[in-house]
Structure 1
């Protein structure tokens, strides 16, 4: 269990370092960026390093580059860049490598690194929040279909992401010698794998099994339409997480707690077409319960 951190970036670093993957290796090659690292063998060493960073946050200016790209996925990648730079036994060789043939861009490789065991690894990194569609699931099946896990943007499904990774993104590293221009000295990766984190959110009050290879999260993860907030226990208390702060729970006492009626009013005030993330108040750990609230019209 990590200690409590105050700096929001350090809190996100702790979430990225301490949270499990969405999937195991049944559906695609999965590899922890810190596999074999001393930080995995001795987690207290990792928490000590992050505690030192939390106490001297000015160091973050050197480690965590600012960016005009405010997308959560870009933020997530930069968190991993920071962790792999801090780790004593990993090394980033290149990241965000655009592969082109002439004027045509064929794709981008997220990361090439030297792992703790010396292996040259191509990694595709992604943070994803998928919502289970219990109305599409066959209750006779013990596992759900990846097609039945939809992103907030309904064009993004777990099935589509898996297909994109296995058919396009992961094979790109084998084409480095013919396509790369800016990093001609980059060694050919020995391993290509993905590392997906985030959450698989089951419908509130509707049991739904995870897809094959899905890893049970350390905390309850549910989603519901706005109208279902009225069905939550009236005595329950929640904290709203701003969109760019969906990773680590907020620091203790960092925000006003909300009852379900407050949450309902807030969602109506914020308007349609916005997802809202809440976490259970009183728990600022990685195991804090999460609730992702969608517009009543979603996924229409």
Structure 2
């Protein structure tokens, strides 16, 4: 993080907009905002976060533990509602067929105030773990969510083949024309992290490891066990951090599900790496799920 931001939700807002794209692909937009306006706005919110917190409390059904996707979307809604160069036209617009069957939903429709172009943006925040068939395998087909219910290839194909073309469908055109809106471009924004097996991951790259291999971690580092609401922005050291022995003791009982850990450099007190620690049976179950038909 280039800015010295302290409030966790403001840090999440920065991360939502400016973290790297999850994938480099034609249908994905690598949206970044280094403008003076956004930098100044973030600094203002870091001092007085009430407008952002009030927005989230009004819009998110479970403000203390919202679904990550909903929380991510609301951060983007706040960003566009206050952006001087864009107008937020609509969000979460359900598209219905003539028989009233729901065909899908358009996440965001925004208008560039200068060019007057209208963009349909699909938003996704995802965390996938690679389970490669061989060490150099980095295909989309080898990535799966920690809960084994979400595969990267499925998400990418559904976004490019269904969600993005939806705004050009006859049903969407009819609904948008009634609002005098014409979509000029449709693109998706993917944020999140891709975790490699620790044995083949590059230094400081997000990685995952089975609980039984916890001893592979650097015993001199500091660790934070993260709640889901802490999965977005990089973390700094807190009072509830663990040293290696404390982490190993915390994980003495077999895990029921994967969880994220932030690795903190004790000298700089800044995050250097993000990890998933998974149950020892997780990899075999993940391989089974990945080999099921799409």
TM-score by length of 2: 0.83
Q: Distance in 2 between matches of 1:12 and 1:126?
A: 14
What corresponds to 1:215 in structure 2? none
How has the CA–CA distance of structure 1 residues 239 and 275 changed in structure 2, closer, same or farther, with 3 Å as cutoff? closer
Q: Distance in 1 between matches of 2:43 and 2:255?
A: 39
In the TM superposition, 1:225-244 aligns within 5 A as 225-244=210-229
Q: Distance in 2 between matches of 1:19 and 1:74?
A: 18
User: Which one of 75, 89, 96 corresponds to residue 71 of structure 2?
Assistant: 75
Deviation at 1:173, TM superposition (A): 0.4
Could you tell me whether the CA contact under 8 Å between 2:85 and 2:112 is conserved in 1?
yes
What corresponds to 2:290 in structure 1? none
Q: Distance in 2 between matches of 1:47 and 1:18?
A: 11
Q: Distance in 1 between matches of 2:29 and 2:3?
A: 25
Determine whether 1:108 maps to 2:93.
Answer: no
Deviation at 1:61, TM superposition (A): 4.3
Deviation at 1:18, TM superposition (A): 2.3
Q: Secondary structure at the match of 1:192?
A: strand
| Unaligned stretches of 5+ residues in structure 2 | 286-294
Deviation at 1:279, TM superposition (A): 3.2
Question: More deviation in 63-72 or 193-202?
Answer: 63-72
Q: Distance in 2 between matches of 1:249 and 1:32?
A: 19
Deviation at 1:249, TM superposition (A): 2.5
How has the CA–CA distance of structure 1 residues 97 and 148 changed in structure 2, closer, same or farther, with 3 Å as cutoff? same
User: Which one of 69, 82, 86 corresponds to residue 86 of structure 1?
Assistant: 82
What corresponds to 2:208 in structure 1? 223
Could you tell me whether the CA contact under 8 Å between 1:131 and 1:200 is conserved in 2?
yes
Deviation at 1:262, TM superposition (A): 2.5
Q: Tell me the matched-pair count.
A: 277
Question: More deviation in 154-163 or 61-70?
Answer: 61-70
Deviation at 1:186, TM superposition (A): 4.8
| Unaligned stretches of 5+ residues in structure 1 | 209-217
Cα shift readout 1:281-300 (whole Å, capped 9, x = no counterpart): 44566x73111111211142
CA RMSD of the aligned region, Å?
A: 2.7
Could you tell me whether the CA contact under 8 Å between 2:147 and 2:258 is conserved in 1?
no
Could you tell me whether the CA contact under 8 Å between 2:205 and 2:274 is conserved in 1?
yes
How has the CA–CA distance of structure 1 residues 100 and 284 changed in structure 2, closer, same or farther, with 3 Å as cutoff? farther
In the TM superposition, 1:156-167 aligns within 5 A as 156-167=150-161
Q: Secondary structure at the match of 2:282?
A: coil
TM-score by length of 1: 0.82
Could you tell me whether the CA contact under 8 Å between 1:98 and 1:105 is conserved in 2?
yes
Q: Distance in 2 between matches of 1:114 and 1:226?
A: 48
Could you tell me whether the CA contact under 8 Å between 2:258 and 2:276 is conserved in 1?
no
Could you tell me whether the CA contact under 8 Å between 1:125 and 1:196 is conserved in 2?
yes
Determine whether 1:95 maps to 2:95.
Answer: no
Q: Distance in 1 between matches of 2:41 and 2:141?
A: 40
What corresponds to 2:49 in structure 1? 57
What corresponds to 1:16 in structure 2? 16
**RCO comparison, higher one (Cα < 8 Å, 6+):** 1
Deviation at 1:3, TM superposition (A): 2.5
How has the CA–CA distance of structure 1 residues 179 and 88 changed in structure 2, closer, same or farther, with 3 Å as cutoff? closer
User: Which one of 288, 291, 300 corresponds to residue 272 of structure 2?
Assistant: 288
